Structure 1
Amino acid sequence: MYVAQVETAATVEHQPVEDPPSMKFAWTIENFSRLNTKKHYSDTFVVSGYKWRVLIFPKGNNVDHLSMYLDVADSATLPYGWSRYAQFSLAIVNQIHNKYSIRKDTQHQFNARESDWGFTSFMALSDLYDPSRGYLVNDTVVVEAEVAVRKIMDYWAYDSKKETGFVGLKNQGATCYMNSLLQTLYYIPYFRKDARKGVLFIDFPPVLQLQLKRFEYDFMRDTMVKINDRYEFPLQLDLDRENGKYLSPDADRSVRNLYTLHSVLVHSGGVHGGHYYAFIRPTLSDQWFKFDDERVTKEDIKRALEEQYGGEEELPQTNPGFNNTPFKFTKYSNAYMLVYIRESDKDNIICNVDEKDIAEHLRIRLKKVQEEKADRKRYKAQAHLFTMIRVARDEDLMEQIGRDIYFDLVDHEKVRSFRIQKQTPFNLFKEEVAKEFGIPVQLQRFWIWAKRQNHTYRPNRPLTHEEEAQSVGQLREVTNKAHSAELKLFLEVELGDLRPIPPPDKTKEDILLFFKLYDPEKEELRYVGRLFVKSTGKPIEILSKLNQMAGFAPDEEIELYEEIKFEPTVMCEHIDKKTSFRLCQIEDGDIICFQKLTPLESETEFRYPDVPSFLEYVHNRQMVHFRSLDKPKEDDFSLELSKLHTYDDVVERVARHIGLDDPSKIRLTAHNCYSQQPKPQSIRYRSLEHLSDMLVHYNQSSDILYYEVLDIPLPELQGLKTLKVVFHHATKDEVVIHNIRLPKQSTVGDVINELKTKVELSHPNAELRLLEVFYHKIYKIFPLNEKIENINDQYWTLRAEEIPEEEKNIGPHDRLIHVYHFTKDSAQNQMQAQNFGEPFFMVVHETETLADVKLRIQKKLQVADEEFSKWKFAFMSLGRPEYLQDSDVVFTRFQRKDVYGAWEQYLGLEHSDNAPKRAYAVNQNRHTYEKPVKIYN
């Protein structure tokens, strides 16, 4: 290694007197590619009396770039509160063409928390290790650092008047803008005269709406708050008072600006929620009305005005003879907006509203709504006088089967319906049908639909002449065993030479059958027609007719199947063509599906080679929308699957779609239909048999699944336990989150040993411990031999930290206590202690006073003197503070008990929680300080 230290004299004479010159440091690193340490430090070099060194990460600091920093070499031995300011540049020298050297500049205030500073992604490792680029030559890298240490202004001891002759203004909380403006105005002497600022009005409107400032932003707590203070408002408001002080000189003063209160709008609740209602005098009479959504009530003036002023209210004393302090409570119902109407315009404002005052488009819309409402009312009132008749035809079957439906024959909701009076003779209804469809009455024959025991719905029998002679109402009552308000019919029309002909006479031997054709190549099912057959006949006798209906050759070999039912499972059986229809139990309304005979050697060419397999597919197919678990609101892709697909089938299809070789690395999570979020627990490997099981949530079906790609197979992962451990560095103010994955039978000691390989310790022999933190309190220190299988990191935070040396050597006259941050939440009138921030342990000695403990706490937390002087210290027991004085002995306050379980007693640090906040744990609604966070998996 070669080190050169050079002073750039050319810049010395141009430096300010108080700033020393910059120094340049060159570091030659040989055998660079053989460096096997994560970090690599240069030799120490001195600039302006301070020791520095360059720190590099040869393989990158968790990135694919070279990481390089400037480090304070002796930071561990410097006194408390040290800091230094430096401007510096770091460079990787191009040893072929110096002009291509990579150099980056920055500046930083170095201190105990940030003792190194630089660039995590200085340059890509691919560029560095490319020999042709000139940065790595003969396995040697040359690093240059130029450092200039600047003088730190000590603002605590700085005297502006002594140094400059001028006096500054103290920043009193975001007052820097005002301070700078006041200084500017002060040093323009001409401006030294009284200033007048305000608002004058040229005129006032006839309707005056005053918004009371009930909601505002609290800069101290960084949140919106509601102001519940008392504000009294008058029934009459005179804006001409005091000689019209609110009016501009050129205002029209002939108008009398006397206003009367018309409405009081009220908000009841807090800043995060509540309820709105209004007190209104519609005609400005003495009677007030409360409009609370759909409820309107009469109210007196006290309720409308005085009770809406806000402020506090005293509860009546129950024991007047005793000297009890009256209890006050804040009223959360108060006025937030007032509406006044000018007296001189009262008659114009409170006027009658005629139809002409309503916009034309609104009149048309309201009239239409009223007509529709009247029609619905009339329809409902006359419903008992009418019957709805739904008529299905061959055209409906042809249109729906294979498109909207596959099972049964028709969706009756989509066929033509007729609303007919019940007293209408059925023959007159047939005339109505003739007008609608153009089919003469004598050519119509209607069939009654019937629901079978297997829940299918088929034409059952034709209407008799006696039934057709009845009224529509009588016919519905006779034929409708389910007492439905509707009458469903099938209209049979026979076609001869493309013209309707009278339907043939039907005997008891005749059976009406419906036929569907299946094409395995196109995966298509369609309706092709119907036929009458003899019950004693055989299917083989109608094969030529079926071939004709399908457009096949007369001698085409076809297979026949009877569609029996589809709920809850599909039942479709092969028909023996040489067995009579009667023996096959075929009856009126049955459905026969047929297809070309598929040779055995050709069956593998089709996904669904026969009718039963196709109907099974249709019945169970399911379009599933898959979403990445990282983006649960967005559909990633969709797959058509079968409800009967096994767990292995589903993950294999997902893996194939995303191009993953190993399906066992897919982990699925079901959808919660109520929260519209992923379920908290993922689906265990092969724990659910079919896709249908994955999509059911409390008897509700979903079509959404979430997926994630694991780095190891799921069966292997399920044998492991993954814990999210938050590591707090002993000296650096940062939090690092690690996911520790170990076998379920591992112990806490194994977790700590694994964590030691991932984190940076303050010294090699440092010992770690694992804590359970909940709502900013420490509830448990895990024993090293405790099994991790039952440890839950979903609701509790698992915090790992180094054990301080003072806790390892606790003497008989020492005590280990809990120390927590807390604040009193004055919002919503709640004065109980609210914990926040990071809790910790502390050793207190027998004779140690609070003053002594405070010094150690300030040093541990590195809090500035000005801020720390505002903190209060209290002994907390069950949430009640007992404030301590500097002379109090802390040791005597705490009982000698197992401190690890004594979280109800602690030393409380009361101060404002002004730090930026982040979620402390998955399901905690408290917050903690926003320290630098790194997440490693």
Structure 2
Amino acid sequence: MNGLNRGTKDGYEQEISSSDSSDFITDDERLPTSQPHPAQESAGSRSQVSTDHQNVFQQYLDEPPRCYEIEAEGADTWEISGITELKDEKYAGPRFKVGEDFEFNLLLMPPTRKNTSAYSVYLEAHPLKAKEDENWHCCVQFAIDAWLPSEPSVHKVNNSFYRFNPRITDWGFVGLLNNRQASDVKMLKASSLNITAYVRVIKDHTGVLWHDFLDYDSKKETGYVGITNQGATCYLNSLLQSYFFTKVFRKKVYQIPTQDEISFGYNSFQQYLEQPKSVSLSLQRIFYSLQTSDKPIDTLELTHSFGWNSADAFTQHDVQELNRILMDRLESKMKNTEIEGCLNDIFVGKMKSFIRCINVDYESSRIEDFWDIQLNVKNLKNIRESFENYIELELLNGDNKYDASGYGLQDAEKGVVFESFPPVLHLQLKRFEYDFEYDQLVKINDKYEFFDSIDLKPYLDKEAPNYDENWEYQLQGVLVHQGDVSVGHYYAMIKPTPKDEWFRFEDDKVWRVTPYEVFEGNFGADSLTIDPRKLTREQQQEYQLKRHTSAYMLVYIRKTKFEEVLSEVTDADVPSHISKQIKYEQEEYERLRKEQEEMHLYANIKVYTNKGFLKYQGFDLGPNEEDRLNFSPDLFEPESFSLKFRMLKSESFSKVYDLVAQKLGYDVDKAKQFRFWSIVSRHNFAYRPYMPIPRHFDDPKNNDITVNQVVKYNESLMSKRRRTAQSSQLILFLEESSRELKFVSNGIFELKNKQKIPASFFSLEPFDVRFEKAVEIVSSEFSLPKFESVSDASDKIMLFIKYFDQDKQSVKGITHIIVPAENQVEYLTELLNNLMGFDISTPLRFYEEFGLNQIQWLNPSKSFYKSELGNGDIICFTKADSEVNPNPDRELKTVEDIYDFMANRCHFKISPLVKVDEDEEEYVKIAEDIDPIDTKSRSDSSKSSLNKDFELWFSTMSNYQALAEKIGAHIKVDPDYLRLFILGHSNQRIPLKRDTVFRRLIDKIPKSQTLEIQYEVLNVTLAEFEEMKLCHVSWVGQGICREQKHEFFLPRSSTIDDLIDRLQTKANIKPQERQNIVCWAPDRHVRLSVYPTETTIDSFDHLVIGNFPNFKQVLEHGSKTSKLVTGFQFFGKVTSPHGLPFIFDLIKDEPLSKTKSRLHKLLGLSDKEFNSVRFGITDFKDVEYLDSEDTDSIVLFDVLNSADIQICVDHPDRSVRKGSVFEPSIFIRE
């Protein structure tokens, strides 16, 4: 439904187009109800006279939108007689002109259907120049007033506004009058009724007033394009638009050298697209696309260059953090280039932090760079007050005097002052702050003003070198957050040129905005001082929108640098390789689009060949790119892939012969020696030849047979399900009689007997080279055999042969054979022995390959028929002796082994662990260290291998020891001393144990995916290491709430003293402090037990350790004036404890005020945090808070006389920050 709902307080009117009105007037029960509008009054309830047009305009039309002018106003009255007698569906009133370009008329729709009673009235617009402008529109505020000419004070009026356009030319009110409402009956029963239209045309200088943005073209309307939102990347989109229109920055980004990153030398467009791109290149490409594209662009390429996944794209991050990290990455790319340091010239200013003594001539100061300025917003009115707040002096006196070198303690002033501001100044408004009282991030929505221009000289150091220059700044960008902490939306208001014209960049849309929208619309709003219930619904909605819409980042440009910063970016500024890349991609995408449109006209043809089979190691006849789980291009030689091409279905099939011959490098005449077989997908998804294509199709002389006819024939051989999967795809096998096993093997046998083949022939390696040579020799000496008949009627079948070479740990295709099905399997033995150069009597073992990891031994004495072998089946053979007496040095010893490996192999990248965890460092050898097992044999070159990455394929059916042995052999380290980690999601490092079951851990990982394994070399065996105890330690030297967490592996027989030895350097424990160490074991945040340091650690998972001289004294010697008690932390309820429980010493006669002061020091909280803390005592049922102002009358030493009563501290858990839309932290890949 179009428009806003506005109805009378009787609940029958709704604002809508007449074309949609049938949805509302079929029966009374379906008429929607709505809240009353201030301009609506029932008949007889108002004193306004309807004929007083000027007053009606003022009283019943809203004020024109801010910053918009009235173009024209006009009114017209339609006199209607006998309204209840009207029977047609729609009536049009007379037209009247308002302004120079539009005419209007009223439309009346009486109740023409049964059980309806509503009279609907609409205003219709007619452009006078519609033929000249097909995209016309007219923004109108209007009121429709029904009144009795005999008694003008009897009225019913409603008002609205609308953007009339070619799609919707009328707008008005369903049920303006209703003969079931007593207030309307008088007007409807009268002999005549007048309806007056009051029309105000608004001059739409932005072009988007009341626009619904359907069919909106940002480029056409504004000259700029937006950026598509990936999910929650609107914050990134707004920042990118700000970067883009900081044109001097765009020019510098274009100058980053990236010309060598992308290559055009790839076989496919997809491979070209998969090339990794740096952040710099991606940003250059985004800028160029924003500069040249007619459509919104996306940021997928950029976020991929960041190293983000789809989850990161749905996480909102802190714009300031993103800005700084991105600038850091760009700076690093600019190092050692002509533009090194240029970002500092654009964005970096300088500020001085100082402490200046009041009574002596002494000042301590330092000058540092800043990329942006964070301004406080809370309790401040505008950015001027924020700057004053920023440079406000802090007085150091009394107990807080400054220790001035050589002058002792002095009264002093502490503050900051700016030395210079950059040409482009980013101001971060601190709209988000952490509320310690409520333990969550909150947004400050209060009204806070910023200005179109501001003079920053008052905030400069008067001693600064350039103080006397012009330091006025002009606003160029406003980045806006709309919403609250947990949910929100980001967009940007930007002035792209020195011309005073603002645009709103909201994801994929861009439109002009008024100064009011830029400024007043983004100030936020103070809390209401009146009862919200006194506001209308529209006023409440307007207030809520305004309060939750506020600027969080401002971009100011120094006025003296404005022209330089915003000077136009020309084609000459764009690197040629960027425009070349984008142009190529656009052409390719257009080609693919056209191919998609014409796809139904083409057949995709895939041809498997004997040549490819000879190079192939894997299942089936060749690599299958459609098998996403088992395919990886790294596994196969390029020559093993099938031939692929596309042909019009209407083309002659004879062209397939010529094209295949050409792709194989043959003369065209050799195409006469081809026979194609139809390949179908079996139930186990194996692709195998099924039948030769019928002879009349297979005859290259037959030009009448089309590709489409062969496709249809191929589909007829498949089930309906397989046919759908292979729609418009033709998969063929090319049979060449010159490569058939019998022809080649028998030819070699004869030529060998005739001594026409030298003995050295059989030593040619690799085998595929020898086979090609054999085909060449035999084909030159003997006539090629004719293709043998294979059909349902014949007894012959075509089989494929593979060979498992145990020495080379490979299984590769050999060739095909056509053989009578009644022959025994052992018929192949002599043929293969002769071909392979084995002794003619060498026993062979044969296996049938069914599919992925599905093989079965074949009884050589059985026939092919009884072995259930048919066309397209694959037989793998090996020497029988190699399986009976396998080579012990070979990992894969049998055909079953290698097929199992091929089915379960996984690609690993192996690298040394870069940073050793603190808990393990004592047991890990660094790369330069020599392994204790190899102290004599390790060479310098083998040491360096510890630092190098390498890759390997490993079966997930193997165990940890097998993987450790492979890695150990490569880096020359005893595998028993290796500890391995697998990198999981977000590079989470998962340690592997000796009993790790890889099949469970990484089952069904696609072979195209590379998993990362990291290793570290231990100086104890992994078995010994896994028996150690992992002990978690909290060092509380800086306070209970400022714990430092450490983890250490130690032998289970170790003591707490041993643990402190490990902790000492980490926590910087001084030798003299060792004697004052106190240790306790926490229990579920509440209880604790203190232990002497000679206690063994075997039974502890977590220990708290700190330097507490007073506690130690009481524990060892006791005391009459002090005693130790325990305490814990909680938030709100004692059943919600958190943090570490603690020990505390109560001192006899010490007032509570001093006790609290010592507790403050023990906890280690800041003054701000401590102010929100409440102390109490509890028996775990109730809490007695110690909030009394008379703190000196309470002595806890006297109060806590039972072990069941503890001190409790009520404050939020600072270890978990909740409610932030900016978590987790941003990272951008180097």
- What TM-score, normalized by structure 1, do the two folds share? 0.55
SS in 1 for 2:986: coil
Match of 1:438 in 2: 667
Q: Deviations over 1:797-825 (max 9, x none)?
A: 57697744457868899894759999xxx
For structure 2, the 5+ residue unaligned runs are 1-356, 365-394, 409-417, 434-441, 535-542, 626-640, 699-703, 739-777, 918-946, 1065-1069, 1132-1136, 1177-1182, 1219-1230
SS at match of 1:391: strand
**Match of 2:589, as an amino acid?**
K
Partner of 1:120: none
* Larger RCO of the pair (alpha carbons < 8 Å, separation 6+): 2
Structure 1 alignment gaps of length 5 or more = 1-159, 184-196, 202-207, 219-224, 823-833, 909-919, 926-937
Give, in whole Å, the separation in 2 of the partners of 1:473 and 1:610.
Answer: 45
Pick closer, same or farther for the CA change 1:358–1:638 going to 2, 3 Å: closer
State the alpha-carbon separation in 1 of the partners of residues 549 and 894 from structure 2. Answer: 76
Distance 1:819 1:451, change over 3 A: closer
Choose from 646, 668, 671 the match for 1:419.
646
Task: Tell whether 2:520 aligns with 1:306.
Answer: yes
What secondary structure, in the 3-state scheme, does the structure 2 residue paired with 1:488 have? Answer: strand
| Map of 2:619 onto structure 1 | 407
Return the alpha-carbon distance in structure 2 between the equivalents of residues 697 and 452 of structure 1. 22
Contact 1:728 1:799 in 2 (8 A): yes
Equivalent pair of 1:559/1:594 in contact (CA under 8 Å): yes
User: What pairs with 1:824-839 in structure 2 (closer than 5 Å)?
Assistant: none
Classify 1:859/1:317 alpha carbon distance in 2 versus 1 (closer, same or farther; 3 Å).
Answer: closer
Q: Where does residue 708 of structure 2 map in the other structure? A: 473
Say if 2:690 is the partner of 1:460: yes
What is the aligned counterpart of 1:722 among 1030, 1041, 1047? 1030
Q: 1:585 aligns with which of 835, 852, 868?
A: 868
Deviation, structure 1 residue 612: 3.7
Query: Quick one: which amino acid aligns to residue 527 of structure 2?
Result: E
CA contact (8 A) 2:907 2:952 kept: yes
> Percentage identity across aligned positions?
21
Instruction: Tell me if structure 2 keeps the 8 A contact 1:628–1:706.
Output: yes
Q: For residue 677 of structure 1, report the CA deviation from its aligned partner.
A: 1.8
Conserved 8 A contact 1:872-1:883? no
| 2:846 aligned partner | 561
Give the Cα separation in 2 of the matches to 1:433 and 1:735.
Answer: 70
Cα distance 1:765–1:427, how it changes in 2: closer, same or farther (>3 A)? closer
1:692 aligns with 2:999: yes
Deviation (angstroms), 1:589: 1.5
Moved more, 375-384 or 426-435: 426-435
Separation (CA, whole Å) in 1 of partners of 2:456 and 2:901:
80
SS of the residue corresponding to residue 587 of structure 1 reads coil
Match of 1:770 among 1080, 1083, 1091: 1080
> Is 1:487 aligned with 2:725?
no
| RMSD of aligned Cα (Å) | 6.7
Q: Give the superposition deviation at 1:442.
A: 4.0
Aligned equivalents of 1:859 and 1:368: distance in 2?
A: 67
Equivalent position of 2:1208 in the other structure = 903
Amino acid across the alignment from 2:801: F
Aligned twin of 2:808: 522
Whole-Å Cα distance in 2 between the matches of residues 601 and 269 of structure 1?
74
- Against the structure 1 CA distance between its residues 738 and 884, is the aligned structure 2 distance closer, same or farther, given a 3 Å change threshold? farther
> Is residue 497 of structure 1 aligned with residue 774 of structure 2?
no
**After the TM superposition, which residues 749-768 of structure 1 pair with which residues of structure 2 at under 5 Å, given as runs?**
none
SS in 1 for 2:886: helix
Change (3 A) 1:655 1:896: farther
Residues 337/395 of structure 1: CA separation in 2 closer, same or farther (3 Å cut): same
1:841 and 2:1144 equivalent? Answer: yes
Change (3 A) 1:710 1:542: closer
CA contact (8 A) 1:670 1:694 kept: no
Q: 1:279: how far off?
A: 0.9
Query: Residue 372 of structure 1 aligns with which residue?
Result: 588
Assess if the C-alpha contact under 8 Å between 1:894 and 1:905 holds in 2. Answer: no
CA distance 1:718–1:817, change in 2 (3 Å)? closer
Q: What secondary structure is seen at the aligned counterpart in 2 of 1:460?
A: strand
- Corresponding letter in the other structure for 2:552: N
Classify 1:766/1:274 alpha carbon distance in 2 versus 1 (closer, same or farther; 3 Å): same
Number of the residue aligned with 1:676: 987
Deviation per residue, 1:589-623 (Å, 9 max, x gap): 22223344537885346624554444444444555
The one-letter amino acid paired with 1:410 is G
Structure 2 match to 1:393: 609
1:563 is matched by which residue type in structure 2?
E
1:407 Cα deviation (Å)? 2.4
> Which secondary structure state, in structure 2, belongs to the residue aligned with residue 603 of structure 1?
coil
SS at match of 2:611: helix
Q: Distance in 2 between matches of 1:434 and 1:392?
A: 13
The structure where helix makes up a greater share of residues is 2
**What does 1:107-506 align with in structure 2 at a 5 Å threshold?**
169=362, 211-212=426-427, 232-235=449-452, 263-266=477-480, 277-280=491-494, 288-296=502-510, 299-308=513-522, 313-315=526-528, 317-318=530-531, 333-338=551-556, 367-399=583-615, 401=616, 405-411=617-623, 414-433=641-660, 437-440=666-669, 442-465=672-695, 470-480=705-715, 481=718, 482=722, 483=724, 484=726, 485-495=728-738, 497-498=779-780, 502-506=786-790
* CA–CA separation in structure 2 for the residues paired with 1:355 and 1:620: 53
Deviation at 1:389, TM superposition (A): 0.8
Cα distance per residue 1:142-167 (max 9 Å; x no partner): xxxxxxxxxxxxxxxxxx99xxxx95
Does the 8 Å CA contact 2:800/2:817 hold for their aligned counterparts?
A: yes
Distance in structure 2 (CA, Å) of the matches to 1:667 and 1:357: 52
1:874-897 Cα shifts (integer Å, max 9, x gaps)? 753699995967745353998887
Say how many residue pairs are matched.
Answer: 673
Q: CA deviation at 1:391?
A: 1.6
Summarize the alignment of residues 586-665 of structure 1 with structure 2, pairs less than 5 Å apart: 586-598=869-881, 603-604=886-887, 607=890, 608-622=892-906, 624-626=908-910, 631=915, 641-651=954-964, 663=976
Paired AA for residue 645 in structure 1: S
Shift of 1:472: 2.1
CA distance in 2 between partners of 1:862 and 1:259 (Å): 44
- 1:887-902 alignment, distance < 5 Å: 887=1192, 889-891=1194-1196, 902=1207
Q: Deviations over 1:299-349 (max 9, x none)?
A: 443331134457x7334543799xxxx999998633421359899989x98
Could you tell me how far apart the structure 1 residues matched to 2:612 and 2:888 are?
33
C-alpha displacement of 1:854: 7.4
